[in-house]
Chains A and B, each alone.
Chain A
Amino acid sequence: MINKIFLLGNPNVGKSVVFSRLTGVQVISSNYPGTTVGLAKGYLKIGEVKIEVIDLPGAYSLEPNSNAEKVAVSLLKECPRDELAVINIIDSTNLERNLFLTLQLIEEGFPVIACLNMCDEAKHKGVQIDIVKLEKLLGIPVVSTCAVTGMGIKYLIERIKEVKPLILKDKPTHQERWQKIGEIIEAVQSLTHRHHTLREVLEDASIRPISGLLMSVAVVYASFKFVRFLGEFLINNIMDPLFFSLYQPVLERVSLALGKDGIYHHLIIGDLINGKIDFKQSMGVFTTAPYIEFAMVLPYVISFYFVLSLLEDIGYLPRLAVLLDNLLHRLGLHGYAIIPVLLGFGCNVPGILATRVLESKRERFIASTLISIGVPCIPLQAMIFGLLGKFGGYYVSGVYLVLFSILLISGVILNKTIKGYSPEFLVEIPPYRFPPLLVLANKLYLRIKGFLIEAIPIVLLGVLAINILFYLRIFDYLTNSFAWIVRGLFGLPKEAVVALAIGFFRKDVAVGMLMPLGLSAKQLFISATLLAISFPCIATFVILFKELGLKYLIKATLIMISASLLVGTLLNFCIMR
C-alpha cells in the first residue's frame, strides 16, 4: 500500500511544477538549478486514498555529493520499500544525463516510475524519444508529461499504482552505467538536426567574456529602470488617486467625529498637519501605516517581483553567476552566490534561505552576512526612492554605491580573516525558456500574497504600539540615552533614534518615521544607508539564527554594528552638503 510519493530528479527538470500539479500546493519554481532548498509536502487523492507527496531538492545521483542529495537519499532510505513510490522526473531534452539517476534508482530496487517532463520543449528541439521501447529497456513505467501546461499529469497519476519494488541488481561501476546509458540512448532517441536559432546564439553570447558583460550591464540597467518606471506608474496612477480621492474624505469625517485631542484620534488618525490629514506625516494606524504599505511599498514589491520572476523563468540568473564567478571568489564565495543576493533584494529572508545552495558553512556565513549588511530589501528601497528620489537620482544611486562598496570591502575582509577555503562551483546552465504568462502571473501572485500576509499585520500593530509608546512618553528615555551617537557621530536629530530602533521591526515603517522630522538630503541619505547596514529586521534575525546558529549570529551582529558606526560617522564627516 503506497502512502508516500517522492518526487526525485536532477536539478531544474521541473519537479516543483509537477508537485504543484499533483497536490494543488503552490510552490515557487524557476528556471535555474536549486530553486527548491527545503522539502515541500502536499497530498494527492487517488480515489478515496490520500497519499503524501514530497518534493525533494534536485539530485544528480544517489551518492551524497551535495547537501541536497544527502537529504534526498536519507529520506528515501528510511521509508519502507512497499509503502513508497518514487516519481523520477526527467528532462526530456537531456535524457542521457538524467538516466544516470534513473538507473541508480532501479539498481537499488526502489519502486519507481519515470516521468519524461518538458516533452513539448524536446519536440521543439527535434528530440524524439520512443517511450514504449524505453519502458521495455528500463523495466519500469514511463510516461511523458508537460507539467507547465498540465499535459500527461492525469495519465501519470493513473500509472502510479503500477509501481512495485524491483529486484536488487548487481551494481555496475559508474563507467559501465554510462556505457549502458549510451546503448539505451542509441535505441530510443532520435535527433532531427536543427540550425542554430537566435535563442541559441543569445545563450552562448551571454556566457562569453565581452558580449556577456555587455549583456549583463544592459539587463541589470533595464531591469532597474523598469522596476522604477512600473513602481512609479502604479503609485501615480492607481494608489495615490485611490488614497487621496477615495480614502482621505472618509478619514477626514472620522477625524471630525473623534475630536482631535483624544487618545483615539492620536492612535487612529495621528497628528493633523495644517488642520488636515497628511498621509506622509500624520503617523496614525489608519492613515500613514496603510499609506506606507499600499501606496509607497506595494507598487515596488509588484514591479520588483515581476522583473525578478521574469529573469528567473527565462533562465538568465545562472549566466550572471558565470560572469561574476571571478569577482565573487575574491569575497570568499563563488558565482552561484549571486542568486541568494538577488533574492535578498526582494526580502532578506528568502535570500538567506537560498544560501543553502552554497556548500560550506563558511560560504553561507559570508553570504548571509553580506546580504544582511549590503542588500536592502525592496520595502526599504521603495521608501528610499520615495523620500530621497525627490532630491535627485544622484542621492539614490549614492546609497547603492555606498552599500556596494561596503559589500565588497566586508567580503574581502571576511574572506581574509575566516579560516577555510571557498569551494568552486559546478553547475548546469539551463537554456532560455519563455514561461507562459499565466505561470508568471501565478508566481507573482504567490509572492505578493506572501508579502501582504507578512507585512500588513506587523505594520498596523507596530504603528499602534509606537503611537501608544509615544503617547506615554516611553521613547524619551531611549532617545536621550543614544542622542550622543546619533547627533554627535551621525549628525542626525535625536528623534531619529526611534526610527533607527524601529528598523529592527520593519524597515519601511522606520523610514516612514523619518518623514515628519524634516531631514535634509544629507541626513536622509545617512539614515537610509544606516537602516540598510545596521540590524536586519527581526524576521531576518530569526532566519539567521535558525540557519547559522547563535555563535555566527553574534558574529554577524557585531560586524553589522561596527560597520554602521563606522560608515555613519564617515559619511557624516565626508559629505559636505
Chain B
Amino acid sequence: MKKITLLQMKRNQRGRIIDISGGTALLSRMMSMGLYSGREITKVGQMALRGAVTIKVGRAVIALGHGMARKIILETE
C-alpha cells in the first residue's frame, strides 16, 4: 500500500481516497459530488503544464484543477 497524491497517480490506476487536505468549503463541495475518504476512484488523465486532472467516480467523470488534485491523497496497490 502506497500513499500518493492524485497528481502522482498513473493513468488508468485505481486508488482509494484516504484524505482530502482542504478547507471545510472544499470538503463539503467534494463530498456532495461523491468524493470523500474511503471512496474508490480511477484516474482518467492529466493535462500538461499544471493542467486539469480527470477521474472516474462511480459512473461519473469529474474534472478538477491541478491544485485541488494535489490535495487528494490516495492509497494504491
Does A174 lie within 8 Å of B31, measured CB to CB? yes
Determine the distance from Cα of A385 to Cα of B34 in the docked complex, in whole angstroms.
Answer: 47
CB neighbours of A431 from chain B (8 A): 61
Does A429 lie within 8 Å of B62, measured CB to CB? yes
Does A322 lie within 8 Å of B29, measured CB to CB? no
Determine the distance from Cα of A427 to Cα of B33 in the docked complex, in whole angstroms.
Answer: 9
Does B47 lie within 8 Å of A209, measured CB to CB? yes
Does B33 lie within 8 Å of A60, measured CB to CB? yes
Determine the residue in chain A with the shortest Cβ distance to B30.
A426
Given contacts A96-B34, A326-B51, A329-B65, 5 further A-B contacts (CB under 8 A): A96-B58, A97-B60, A174-B31, A322-B54, A325-B66
Does A323 lie within 8 Å of B47, measured CB to CB? yes
Over the window 56-77 of chain B, the binary record of Cβ atoms lying under 8 Å from chain A Cβ atoms (1 yes, 0 no) is 0111111111111000000000
For chain A, the bracket of interface size reads 35 or more
- Rank and list the top 5 A-B pairs by shortest CB-CB distance, nearest first: A424-B65, A61-B32, A326-B51, A325-B52, A60-B32
Known: A209-B45, A335-B52. A321 touches B32 (CB 8 A): no
List residues 311-366 of chain A with CB under 8 A from any CB of chain B: 318, 321-323, 325-326, 329, 334-335
CB neighbours of B37 from chain A (8 A): 175
Determine the distance from Cα of A218 to Cα of B37 in the docked complex, in whole angstroms.
Answer: 39
**25 A-B contacts (beta carbon < 8 Å):** A65-B28, A65-B29, A96-B34, A97-B33, A127-B59, A174-B31, A174-B36, A175-B38, A178-B34, A178-B39, A207-B63, A208-B45, A209-B48, A321-B52, A321-B63, A322-B51, A323-B51, A326-B47, A326-B48, A326-B51, A424-B67, A425-B63, A426-B29, A426-B63, A429-B63
Q: Does B25 lie at the interface of the complex (its beta carbon under 8 Å from any beta carbon of A)?
A: yes
Determine the residue in chain A with the shortest Cβ distance to B65.
A424
Determine the distance from Cα of A267 to Cα of B30 in the docked complex, in whole angstroms.
Answer: 62
Q: Which of B47, B49, B60 contacts A428 (CB 8 A)?
A: B60
Determine the residue in chain B with the shortest Cβ distance to A208.
B45
Q: Does B44 lie at the interface of the complex (its beta carbon under 8 Å from any beta carbon of A)?
A: yes
CB neighbours of B54 from chain A (8 A): 207, 322, 429
Q: Indicate the member of B44, B48, B57, B61 with the most A CB atoms within 10 Å.
A: B61
Q: Which of B29, B30, B31, B50 contacts A329 (CB 8 A)?
A: B50
Does A325 lie within 8 Å of B65, measured CB to CB? yes
* Distance from B38 Cβ to chain A, minimum over Cβ atoms (Å): 7
Does B52 lie within 8 Å of A97, measured CB to CB? no
Q: Does A102 lie at the interface of the complex (its beta carbon under 8 Å from any beta carbon of B)?
A: no
* Distance from B13 Cβ to chain A, minimum over Cβ atoms (Å): 14
Known: A207-B45, A318-B63. A425 touches B52 (CB 8 A): yes
Does A424 lie within 8 Å of B66, measured CB to CB? yes
Determine the distance from Cα of A97 to Cα of B45 in the docked complex, in whole angstroms.
Answer: 21
Q: Does A66 lie at the interface of the complex (its beta carbon under 8 Å from any beta carbon of B)?
A: yes
Over the window 516-531 of chain A, the binary record of Cβ atoms lying under 8 Å from chain B Cβ atoms (1 yes, 0 no) is 0000000000000000
* Distance from A71 Cβ to chain B, minimum over Cβ atoms (Å): 16
- Mark A residues whose CB is within 8 Å of B: 60-61, 63, 65-66, 93-94, 96-97, 100-101, 127, 174-175, 178, 203-204, 207-209, 212, 318, 321-323, 325-326, 329, 334-335, 424-429, 431
Known: A335-B52, A429-B54. A97 touches B34 (CB 8 A): yes
CB neighbours of B29 from chain A (8 A): 60, 65-66, 426
CB neighbours of A175 from chain B (8 A): 36-38
Does B45 lie within 8 Å of A204, measured CB to CB? yes
Does A325 lie within 8 Å of B51, measured CB to CB? yes
Q: Which of B28, B49, B58, B62 contacts A427 (CB 8 A)?
A: B62
Does B65 lie within 8 Å of A425, measured CB to CB? yes
CB neighbours of A96 from chain B (8 A): 34, 58-59
Does B66 lie within 8 Å of A100, measured CB to CB? no
Does A335 lie within 8 Å of B63, measured CB to CB? yes
Does A322 lie within 8 Å of B47, measured CB to CB? yes
Does A326 lie within 8 Å of B62, measured CB to CB? no
Determine the distance from Cα of A203 to Cα of B59 in the docked complex, in whole angstroms.
Answer: 13
Does B25 lie within 8 Å of A97, measured CB to CB? no
Known: A175-B36, A424-B65, A426-B64. A326 touches B52 (CB 8 A): yes
Does A322 lie within 8 Å of B59, measured CB to CB? no
List residues 9-36 of chain B with CB under 8 A from any CB of chain A: 11, 25, 28-34, 36
Determine the distance from Cα of A431 to Cα of B25 in the docked complex, in whole angstroms.
Answer: 27
Does B33 lie within 8 Å of A334, measured CB to CB? no
CB neighbours of A428 from chain B (8 A): 33, 60-63
Does B25 lie within 8 Å of A100, measured CB to CB? no
Determine the distance from Cα of A204 to Cα of B44 in the docked complex, in whole angstroms.
Answer: 7
Does B45 lie within 8 Å of A65, measured CB to CB? no
CB neighbours of A334 from chain B (8 A): 65
Determine the distance from Cα of A101 to Cα of B32 in the docked complex, in whole angstroms.
Answer: 8
Q: Which of B32, B33, B39, B64 contacts A424 (CB 8 A)?
A: B64
Determine the residue in chain B with the shortest Cβ distance to A96.
B58
* Distance from B60 Cβ to chain A, minimum over Cβ atoms (Å): 5
Q: Which of B38, B50, B58, B68 contacts A97 (CB 8 A)?
A: B58
Does B31 lie within 8 Å of A427, measured CB to CB? no
Does B47 lie within 8 Å of A325, measured CB to CB? yes
CB neighbours of B47 from chain A (8 A): 209, 212, 322-323, 325-326
Does A426 lie within 8 Å of B28, measured CB to CB? no
CB neighbours of B11 from chain A (8 A): 208
* Distance from A173 Cβ to chain B, minimum over Cβ atoms (Å): 10
CB neighbours of B39 from chain A (8 A): 178
Does B32 lie within 8 Å of A425, measured CB to CB? no
Does A65 lie within 8 Å of B32, measured CB to CB? yes
CB neighbours of A203 from chain B (8 A): 61
Determine the distance from Cα of A325 to Cα of B50 in the docked complex, in whole angstroms.
Answer: 9
Determine the distance from Cα of A312 to Cα of B64 in the docked complex, in whole angstroms.
Answer: 20
Determine the distance from Cα of A66 to Cα of B50 in the docked complex, in whole angstroms.
Answer: 24
Q: Indicate the member of A66, A207, A425 with the most B CB atoms within 10 Å.
A: A207
Does B65 lie within 8 Å of A94, measured CB to CB? no
